[in-house]
Amino acid sequence: MLKGIANCSALREIPLFYSQTVQGVSVLASRVMAAAKKGFTYLQQRLDCCRSQRDHLVHFKEKYGPWAIVTGAARGIGKAYARELASRGLNVLLVDLLEEELNQTAEEIRSEFPIQCHSIRADLSNSQERQTVIDQSEQYSIGLFCCNHAMTKLFADGKLRAWIDTPIENLQQMVQVNLGSSIALIHHFANRMAVQHRGGILILSSMGAISGAPYVTQYGATKAFLANLGEALFWELKCKGVDVTTVLPGLTRTNDVEKGLTEYGRKTLSMMEPSEVASISLNALGKQCSVIPGKGNQLQHFFLSRLAPRSMSISFFGKIFPKCFHVIPLKNPR
C-alpha cells in the first residue's frame, strides 16, 4: 500500500507545488518590500521637502522679520509683495499714496493671514510726509524694506509720448518719486539695518533699464539708476549683514499696464503675474545681487544685453513700444 502511495502522482507533485508556492510568496514578498521601500523613500523625500520649505520660511522670518515695510503696496506688484511676505509669516507695514486702496489691501491681508498689518498713507515724494513714514516706522523692528513704489506714467491718460514732448515738470516729478524718495528711504533703512547687522532690501528696477528705452525714456533712466545703485549696495552692505537684491521685472500684469496696451500688444506680449514676481524675487534675496523674474524675460535679457549690439536693443524698444502701447506720435516730427 505504501508503494502505491509513493507511486501516486499527486503526492509526487507536493514538493514541486510547495517549492513553487514558496518561490511565488518570496517573489511577492520582495515586490511588496520594494514597493514599500519606494513608498517610504517617497514619503521621506516629501517630508524632507516640506521640512526644508518650513526651515526656509523659518529662516526667512528670522533673517528678515519680524516686520517688513513695502512702499507702493496698495496695488500691483507692491500688494503682491505684501501678501507674499505675510504668507511667510512677516508682519507688514504698507505705505502708499492711495488711501482707500491701501486700507482695503491692509484689511484683506489681515483677514487672510495670521500676522499684523498696518498702513501709512503718504506721498513719498514729499519730504515731510516721507519723514513721517520714517518716524512712524521707528516703532517697528523692521528687517526688510521693499522699495517698490514708483511713478510709472508721465501723463494721466497713461499714453506714452516722446521725451521732448513731455513737460519738464512731469520729468522732474518722476525723478523726485523714483529717485529722490527711493534714495532717501534706502539710505535710511540701510543704515538702520547695518546697525542691527541684519536685514534685506529689495529695490524694484525694470527690464526697461537694460538699455535706453524710447517712449519710456525717463522711466527707464530712473530704473537704470536704481539697478546700478542696488548692485553696488549688494557688495557694500554684504559685510554689514544686509542683503540687497535688485529686481528687474519684465511686463507684469497690473491695471495700468493692461490699460496701456494696444490690441496688438495684448495679443503679442506675454506678461507675468505680480505674485510670481514677488515670490521669485524674495527667494533671490540674500542669494543674488539682481534678479530677472521669468525664463522668457531672462532669455530676452540675455539676447538684448549680451548677444545683440546695444543699438539693436534700443531700436527693439523704439519699434515695439508704438505697436504694443498707446503712443502719441512726436509733435512736429520735422
Identify the residue among 144, 154, 177, 284 touching ligand NAP (CB under 6 A): 177
| Smallest separation (angstroms) from ligand NAP to the CB of 144 | 16
How many residues in the shown chain lie near ligand NAP by CB under 6 A?
26
- Does residue 78 touch ligand NAP according to CB under 6 A? yes
Burial of residue 276, with CB atoms counted within 10 A of its CB: 0-12 exposed, 13-18 middle, 19 or more buried = middle
- Does residue 77 touch ligand NAP according to CB under 6 A? yes
- Does residue 252 touch ligand NAP according to CB under 6 A? yes
Identify the residue among 91, 119, 152, 281 touching ligand NAP (CB under 6 A): 152
Burial of residue 306, with CB atoms counted within 10 A of its CB: 0-12 exposed, 13-18 middle, 19 or more buried = exposed
Grid coordinates of 44: 521621506
Which lies closer to ligand NAP via its Cβ, residue 61 or residue 208? 208
- Does residue 244 touch ligand NAP according to CB under 6 A? no
In one-letter notation, the amino acid at residue 230 is: G
115: Cα separation from own chain's centroid = 20
d(CA 94, CA 92): 6
Which lies closer to ligand NAP via its Cβ, residue 242 or residue 247? 247
| Smallest separation (angstroms) from ligand NAP to the CB of 72 | 3
Q: How far is CA 199 from CA 69, 163, 242, 244, in A?
A: 12, 38, 5, 9
Which part of the chain contacts ligand NAP (CB under 6 A), choosing from 7-15, 95-103, 111-119, 296-304? 95-103
Which part of the chain contacts ligand NAP (CB under 6 A), choosing from 15-23, 92-100, 296-304, 312-320? 92-100
Site string for ligand NAP, 203-242 (x = CB under 6 A): -x-x------------------------------------
- Does residue 179 touch ligand NAP according to CB under 6 A? no
Q: Closest Cα partner for 274 from 61, 56, 70?
A: 70
Can you tell me whether residue 200 is helix, strand or coil?
strand
Identify the residue among 91, 137, 217, 254 touching ligand NAP (CB under 6 A): 254
Alpha helices in the chain (DSSP H): 2-7, 9-64, 76-87, 99-112, 127-137, 168-175, 182-196, 217-238, 255-260, 263-268, 274-284, 295-302, 310-324
Which part of the chain contacts ligand NAP (CB under 6 A), choosing from 84-92, 94-102, 158-166, 283-291? 94-102
Decide: 215 and 327 in contact? Cβ < 8 Å.
yes
> Which residues contribute to the site for ligand NAP (CB under 6 A)?
72, 74-78, 96-98, 123-125, 148-152, 177, 204, 206, 249, 251-252, 254, 256-257
